[in-house]
Amino acid sequence: MYRRVPPKPTKPDPLAVLRRLTPRDRLLLSWLAEHYLLSTDQIARALFTSPATARMRLTILYRIGALTRFSFSDPDGGTPPFLYTLGPVGLHLHPNAWSDPDNPKAKPPRSHIDRARRIARSQKREHTLGVNQFFVDLHAHTRTDPQARLARWWSEHHATDAYASARIFPDGHGIWQHGQHSVGFFLEHDRGTEPLRKVLAKLRGYERLTEFGPRYPVLFWVPNPARERSLQDALAGVPTLTPVATAVHSPDPAGPVWTLTSDPGQRLRLHELPSDHGPAAGTNPNRYNDVRDLTGDAL
């Protein structure tokens, strides 16, 4: 029998780096496949206990091709933060990743660089980072609250596809668990740039959804108290099948910051909002790994 070991290949194995990816690395890559990009600070807040350790690990992932990064000049002369997206290894693991924030039906990118260019040039880039910050802050909350868990985090494109028959276009969709409470929600990340009537028109689709699907609260995450008062005043006394809640941007969206338009006299925690999972309540939601199991700082 022929037993001679063949010689070592002269070309490097492009998949050898996969052995270096930890479960936390793979979770990060799955987020970037779904949500396009995250900043250094966002990744550190969600997945690491030390910003320095986060920067070191991200540098390693960039150098082995798991991530691609870019930044823009700072008009104030400071050091601009890196924004991370999938590198060639990350795109190999997620070949069907969303490829264009502005046009989800665009042709697949020719390479990870092509995909990164689309994301960097996107008119929705800052909005995407703002939406992702909301969910990053929820993940950060789970690290200090053992009863809390973000069981689902879907992007705008994912949620739009999943609920296409209702013609809703949320900025994000999640399922938040706290103890025995499970609250689904649709996020509308408001930056105060759209006319109020256009913002309120978005509720029509969510009302249609209640006819056959879940009855999840619609969360208007607004930039300042004045904008919140305007929304609350516009919806005062207006009956809606969908619960509607407002809150001003803060570092802890899981906390007592939410005001229902039907009951503006109190502030509720996210898990205290009314939520009905609808006909599919018995099915197991599409879950990500629990971040608390993946936050060790080994490099």
**Is 186 in contact with 216 (CB distance < 8 Å)?**
yes
Check pLDDT > 50 for residue 282.
Answer: no
C-alpha R_g of the chain: 21
Q: Mean pLDDT for the chain?
A: 89
Contacts of 145 (CB under 8 A, 6+ apart): 178, 254
Res 261 pLDDT > 70: yes
Per-residue confidence (pLDDT) for residue 145, from 0 to 100: 97
pTM: 0.89
In three-state secondary structure terms, 240 is coil
What is the pLDDT at residue 77? 67
Q: Are 170 and 131 in contact (CB under 8 A)?
A: no
Q: Given this model, what pLDDT does residue 298 score?
A: 47
Residue 284 has pLDDT above 50, yes or no: no
Share of the chain above pLDDT 90, in %: 75
Yes or no: say if 190 and 199 are a contact pair by the CB < 8 Å rule.
yes
Task: Write down the pLDDT at residue 215.
Answer: 96
Look at residue 158 and tell me whether its pLDDT is greater than 70: yes
pLDDT at 74: 73
Coil, strand or helix: which one is 298? coil
Q: What is the mean pLDDT of residues 252-276?
A: 96
- Segment 238-252, tens digit of pLDDT: 889 999 999 999 999
Task: State residue 80 phi and psi, 5-degree precision.
Answer: -70, 145
Closest among 127, 172, 141 to 46, alpha carbons compared: 141
Delimit the domains of the chain by residue range.
16-123, 127-280
pLDDT of residue 294: 45
pLDDT value, residue 237: 84
Task: Please give the average per-residue pLDDT across 168-183, as a whole number.
Answer: 97
What lies within 8 Å, CB to CB, of 154 at 6+ separation is 34, 162, 172, 173, 174, 286
Instruction: Identify the weakest region by mean pLDDT among 2-11, 35-44, 104-113, 201-210.
Output: 2-11
Tell me how far CA of residue 87 lies from CA of 91, 115, 156, 251, in angstroms: 6, 9, 22, 29
Fold topology of 16-123: Arc Repressor Mutant, subunit A (1.10.10)
CB 41 within 8 A of CB 81: yes
* Region of 177 on the Ramachandran plot (φ > 0 left; ψ -120 to 50 alpha; else beta): beta
| pLDDT tens-digit readout, 1-34 | 556 776 766 666 667 788 999 999 999 999 999 9
- Scanning 2-155, the segments in alpha helix (DSSP H) are 23-35, 40-47, 51-63, 88-93, 112-121, 125-142
Contact by Cβ (8 Å): 231, 240: no
Inter-residue contact 17 to 61 (CB < 8 Å): no
